[in-house]
Structure 1
Amino acid sequence: MLRELVGDEPVAGIETIVQAQPDILHLTNIDFDAGLVTLKALQMQLADRGLSLDHSFARKPNTGMSTGLDIDGDGRRGGPRDAQGFGYFSGQGGQALLSRFPLELTADKSDVTWSDLSHSLIAPDDPAGKVQRVSSSAHWAVTVKVNERAVTLLTLAATPPVFDGPEDRNGRRNHDEVLLWTYSLAQEPGLYKAPVVLIGNFNLDPIRGEGIHAAAKQVLSHPRLQDPLPDLPTVEWERVGEMRVSYVLPDKVLDVVDAKVMPLEPTAGPHRLVWVDVTLN
Structure 2
Amino acid sequence: MRLLLTAALLSALAMSGCRSSGDPATDALPAATGEATAPAKADIAVPPLPAPAPGHVRFATYNTSLYSDEDGGLLRRLQAGDADAAKIAAVIQHVRPDVLLLNEFDYDPDGAAAEAFVRDYLGVGQHGQQAIAYPYRYAAEVNTGVPSGLDLDGNGVVGGDGRVRGNDAWGYGLHPGQYGMLVLSRFPLDADAVRSFRLLKWSSLPGAKAPVFPDTGLPFYPTEVWTALRLSSKSHWDLPVETPFGRVHFLVAHPTPPAFDGPEKRNAARNHDEIRLWADYLDDAPSDAAWLCDDAGRCGGLAGSERFVIAGDYNADPADGGSLPGAIQQLLEHPRVLRMASPRSPGAIAASAASGGDGHQGFAGHDTADFGRGRYRVDYVLPSTGLRAPASGVFWPAPGQPGADWAAASDHHLVWVDVEGD
In which range does the TM-score fall when normalised by the shorter chain? over 0.9
Instruction: Provide the residue aligned with 2:371 in structure 1.
Output: 237
| CA displacement 1:141-167 (0-9 Å, x = unmatched) | 000012471100111101000111101
Kindly indicate whether the alpha-carbon contact (under 8 Å) linking 2:240 and 2:250 is maintained by their aligned counterparts in 1: yes
Q: Report the AA paired with residue 205 of structure 1.
A: D
Matched, 1:197 2:309: yes
Query: What is the aligned counterpart of 2:198 among 82, 87, 110?
Result: 110
1:72 maps to 2:147: no
Q: Partner residue of 2:185?
A: 99
Report if aligned partners of 1:135, 1:158 keep a CA contact under 8 Å in 2: yes
Counterpart Cα distance in 2 of 1:97 and 1:7: 12
1:63 matched to 2:63? The reply is no
SS in 2 for 1:53: coil
Task: Give the direction of change, closer, same or farther, for the CA distance of 1:148–1:20 in structure 2 (3 Å limit).
Answer: closer
Could you tell me which runs of 5 or more consecutive residues in structure 1 were left unpaired when the two chains were aligned.
none
Whole-Å Cα distance in 1 between the matches of residues 341 and 272 of structure 2? 21
Q: Quote the offset at 1:258 in angstroms.
A: 0.6
Provide, for residues 102-154 of structure 1, a one-character-per-residue CA deviation record: whole Å limited to 9, x for no partner.
Answer: 11243211211111111310159532221111100010000001247110011
Structure 2 partner of 1:256: 389
Q: State how 1:179-194 maps to structure 2 within 5 Å.
A: 179-186=276-283, 187=285, 188-191=300-303, 193-194=305-306
Q: Give the alignment's Cα RMSD to 1 decimal.
A: 1.8
Asked if residue 136 in structure 1 is aligned to residue 193 in structure 2, the reply is no
Q: Secondary structure at the match of 1:103?
A: coil
Paired amino acid for 1:73 = G
Higher mean C-alpha deviation, range 28-37 or range 65-74: 65-74
User: Per-residue deviation at 1:215?
Assistant: 1.3
Task: Measure, in 1, the Cα distance between the counterparts of 2:407 and 2:310.
Answer: 27
Q: Distance in 1 between matches of 2:233 and 2:273?
A: 10
Identical pairs, percent:
33
In structure 2, the residue matched to 1:32 is 107
Cα deviation, residue 80, structure 1: 0.5
Q: Which moved more, 1:103-112 or 1:91-100?
A: 103-112
**Aligned residue type for 1:3:** A
- The residue number in structure 2 matching 1:87 is 173
- How far apart, in 2, do the equivalents of 1:190 and 1:15 lie? 35
Greater Rg over alpha carbons, structure: 2
Specify which structure has the higher proportion of strand.
1
Separation in structure 2 between the aligned mates of residue 22 and residue 158 of structure 1, nearest angstrom: 23
- 1:280 deviates by 2.6
Q: Which residue in 2 is equivalent to 1:149?
A: 246
CA distance in 2, matches of 1:167, 1:137: 21
On the 8 A contact 1:32/1:38 being kept in 2, the answer is yes
Structure 2, unmatched stretches of 5+, are: 1-57, 67-83, 126-130, 160-164, 213-218, 286-299, 343-362, 398-405
Matched residues in 2 for 1:193 and 1:98: separation?
25
Residue identity opposite 2:62 in structure 1: L
Secondary structure of 1:13's counterpart equals: helix
* Range 243-252 or range 123-132, more displaced: 123-132
Aligned partner letter, 1:248: V
Mapped partners of 1:129, 1:193: distance in 2: 35
AA paired with 1:5?
Y
Pick closer, same or farther for the CA change 1:94–1:120 going to 2, 3 Å.
same
- TM-score scaled by structure 1? 0.94
Equivalent residue, structure 2, for 1:3: 60
- Give, in whole Å, the separation in 2 of the partners of 1:267 and 1:108: 32
Report the TM-score when normalising by structure 2: 0.63
